[in-house]
Amino acid sequence: MIIPKLALRNMLGAGAKTWLNGAVLSMAFVTIIFAQGLYRGFDAEVSKTLIDAEYGGGQYWVEDYDPYDPFTLQDAHAVPAPPLRALIDAGRAAPILIVQGTLYPAGRVLPVAIKGIDPAQRQLSFPTNVLTASGDGIPALIGSRMAKSAGLAVGDTVTVRWRDVRGAFDAKDLEIVQVMTTTAQTIDEGQVWLPLATLREMAAMPGEATIVVLDRDASPVAAAAGWSFQGLDVLLKDIKDIIKGKTIGASVLYAILLFLAALAILNTQLLSIWRRRKEIGTMMAMGVTRGRVIGLFTFEGALNAVFAAVVGAVWGIPLLAYLAVRGLSMGANQGDSFGIAMSDTMYPSYSAGLVAGTTLLVFLITTIVSYLPARKISKLKPTEALQGRRA
Amino acid sequence: MSRSAILILIGALAASAAAFAQAPSAEEILDRVDRNAVPGSKILVSEMTIHGRRESRTIRAKSWIEGEDKAFTEYLDPPRERGVKMLKLGDRLWTYSPDTDRAISISGHMLRQSVMGSDLSYEDMMEDRTLRDAYEARVAGDEAVGDRPCWVLELTAKSGDVAYPSRKSWVDKERFVVLKEERYAKSGKLLKTLEAGAVGRVQGRWLPFEAVFRDALKEGGGTEFRILSVAFDAPIPEALFTKASLRK
């Protein structure tokens, strides 16, 4: 029990040095927890947006469909397999038909993916219900990015040209019934949403779909011939990989912060051992074993981590809590420049595991850098120490 | 009724019957148009001027065409496009770019893309079915285009796989050349127009030396097509219509 008491007394006795170490270490603590929390929040936000707006509880893709290759769209359509039709009939899945087309806003040519969706679907959270609007033209829903690039607004009429299933050209006027604002540009840019029944009729593809989106709590069906299931792990893989890559990149920052903090601790320990060599010699002469002396200095160093955790908690908890509630403004449409569904304000998300893990990491590093200089004491002879010689 | 009145009536009836007997049927008109447009073989040098929203550019090319199925085109100008080649064999198409030294197969949806930003798609250029094969025709009347009297034909696709489900063509009554055409979508919306300019005779065939294609839904001056020189039934080496010739 004597070692902890001695260590605590020595640490408190160090005064400004202890505060300096605590401040540097606490900054490392809080910064790491904040940055990791920001990535966690970012991951949660983007995943939720994509699940709500596009992925639902997973998707079935018709054979030949490749979302990254628009040239596959020509053949990527079929009547959903019976198990999928049963889910659709029960209102637990939403079929979406995708047809390649060309939009002619104000005489310009704009290639688009024309997407047909049931206005009454409940799987995706965007305003498909507006597609029931009855008017002269075909009701069309577009996103704000699409509206901007095409120069379209609610109430505008625009001609769309497409080819039906046999390759014959057709063209009709669409009426923009709503411009939706969404952070998911994957349901916005280069896309026009129409009522499913209308698009099926336009393309002469009765009952057909390109993808089927499941309810969030629906389980994949046993077998759907001609259709392949894409779970959220697959659909969100790209975004997870991006976030993972960014997290790894941020680790460099953590390493620099921890290195600086470790350097401060190491410097303190080296100075401490140098200044207290007579004390060390006395302790050894009184029968304190080398191991216990090493333990004392290592413990003193480790106490710095505990002190830093307390200091970090004092200023970090209110700051991190504030940021978690108010969020961090990223600027308007910053997500678009990254090509991901990121909202204008990011809300960091912290977990007990994150805080505990960071604390443990800092504690371990501090203990190791405290142990390394203390190890030298083992080579010191009590007589030399008492004379004030270095080991 | 007097004897002279009866004679006039008989004369008028006979004249109109003769006129009807002379007017070819819609199918016959299409046959004549097809015969004019699709010779055994031809070698032509042409220019295509694409009028964009901001600027116009002209591309010159030489084409070797054998019947309906084989065509080889090499771009001669401007320098940026020089050496680009296209080979069509039946319903397959390849393009070759000297910059990449690669031949790319154009298929599926890519055939619907515009050729070098023009108002024509690869499919438009590959159209190999004769009008008679693809369309039912009806003579809707006659009308002059410029100073040329024309038959107005209404064409309706025989099957659902024809790109333009209906067309309206103005065919020169004497030369059997399409002087004007409107191509429509299934809904009846006008999609593309063609207006022929100067028509000339080469080796007994009439053909338009100038034509303007326009995407009717798009703004812009359309795409002008000019034939600078043409030779019909010229011998074309069979080796030209192979993928290997793209790299030569």
Residues of B with CB below 8 A from A166's CB? 159-161
Which range is least confidently modeled, A29-33, A84-88, A371-375, B227-231? A371-375
pLDDT score recorded for residue B39: 64
pLDDT tens figures, A151-199: 999 999 999 999 999 989 999 999 999 999 888 888 998 999 999 999 9
A367: pLDDT confidence band, cut at 50, 70 and 90? confident
B128: pLDDT confidence band, cut at 50, 70 and 90? low
pLDDT score recorded for residue A62: 94
Distance between CA atoms of residues B129 and A112, nearest Å: 29
| Nearest in space to A338 (alpha carbons), one of A186, A205, A217, A214 | A186
Please tell me whether residue A115 adopts helix, strand or coil conformation.
strand
User: Domain check: are A276 and A182 in the same one?
Assistant: no
Nearest residue, CB atoms, B161 vs list A75, A108, A166: A166
Query: What is the mean pLDDT of the segment spanning A94-120?
Result: 92
Whether A166 and B160 lie within 8 Å, measured CB to CB: yes
User: Domain check: are A47 and A62 in the same one?
Assistant: no
- Residue A391 in any domain: the answer is no
The answer to whether the beta carbons of residues A96 and A114 sit under 8 Å apart is no
A105: pLDDT confidence band, cut at 50, 70 and 90? very high
Query: What is the mean pLDDT of the segment spanning A93-120?
Result: 93
Q: Which amino acid is at A268?
A: T
Position A220 pLDDT exceeds 50: yes
From A230, A259, A277, give the residue that closes a domain.
A230
pLDDT tens figures, A118-162: 999 999 998 999 998 666 779 999 999 999 999 999 999 999 999
Distance between CA atoms of residues B43 and B70, nearest Å: 12
Query: What is the mean pLDDT of the segment spanning B174-183?
Result: 95
Choice between A343 and A388, residue whose per-residue pLDDT is larger: A343
pLDDT score recorded for residue B14: 43
What's the domain count of chain A? 2
Residue ranges with strand state E in B82-221: 85-89, 92-97, 102-106, 135-145, 148-157, 166-172, 178-184, 190-196, 199-202, 205-208, 210-215
DSSP label of A52: I
B9: pLDDT confidence band, cut at 50, 70 and 90? very low
Query: What is the mean pLDDT of the segment spanning B48-52?
Result: 87
- Residue A291 in any domain: the answer is yes
- Residue A20 in any domain: the answer is yes
Q: Which residues have CB under 8 Å from A260's CB, separation 6+?
A: A24, A28
User: Domain check: are A166 and A304 in the same one?
Assistant: no
Mutation target to probe the B interface, by most B beta carbons within 10 A, among A104, A169, A205, A210 is: A169
Q: How far is CA A279 from CA A15, A26, A71, A292, B246, in A?
A: 19, 30, 80, 13, 90
User: Domain check: are A222 and A270 in the same one?
Assistant: no
From A214, A230, A246, give the residue that closes a domain.
A230
User: Domain check: are A149 and A283 in the same one?
Assistant: no
User: Domain check: are A83 and A226 in the same one?
Assistant: yes
User: Domain check: are A128 and A263 in the same one?
Assistant: no
Please tell me whether residue A79 adopts helix, strand or coil conformation.
coil
B53 has a chain A CB within 8 A of its CB = yes
User: Domain check: are A177 and A133 in the same one?
Assistant: yes
Distance between CA atoms of residues A146 and A189, nearest Å: 5
User: Domain check: are A28 and A152 in the same one?
Assistant: no
Interface of B with A in 21-50 (CB under 8 A): none
Please tell me whether residue B202 adopts helix, strand or coil conformation.
strand
User: Domain check: are A37 and A62 in the same one?
Assistant: no
| Helix (H), strand (E) counts: chain A | 12, 11
Among A1-5, A318-322, A329-333, top mean pLDDT goes to: A318-322
Whether A161 and B185 lie within 8 Å, measured CB to CB: yes
Query: What is the mean pLDDT of the segment spanning B92-117?
Result: 79
Mutation target to probe the B interface, by most B beta carbons within 10 A, among A74, A104, A109, A160 is: A109
pLDDT score recorded for residue B229: 92
The answer to whether the beta carbons of residues B220 and B53 sit under 8 Å apart is yes
User: Domain check: are A221 and A336 in the same one?
Assistant: no
- Closest residue in A to B106 (Cα) is A71
Residue ranges with strand state E in chain B: 41-51, 56-66, 70-77, 85-89, 92-97, 102-106, 135-145, 148-157, 166-172, 178-184, 190-196, 199-202, 205-208, 210-215, 222-232
pLDDT score recorded for residue B10: 46
Query: What is the mean pLDDT of the segment spanning A368-374?
Result: 82
DSSP label of A216: T
From A196, A213, A230, give the residue that closes a domain.
A230
Residue A154 Cα, gap to closest chain B Cα (Å): 21
B224: pLDDT confidence band, cut at 50, 70 and 90? very high
Q: Go through the domains of chain B in sequence order and give each one's CATH number.
A: 25-247 (2.50.20.10)
User: Domain check: are A48 and A62 in the same one?
Assistant: no
Position B177 pLDDT exceeds 50: yes
Interface pTM (ipTM) of the complex?
A: 0.79
Give chain A's mean pLDDT.
85
Helices (H), A165-287: 196-203, 232-235, 237-275, 277-285
Alpha-carbon torsion angle A140, A143, A146, A150, nearest 10: 50
Domain containing residue A128: 58-230
pLDDT score recorded for residue A388: 62
Q: Locate A109 and state its tokens.
A: 């040519």
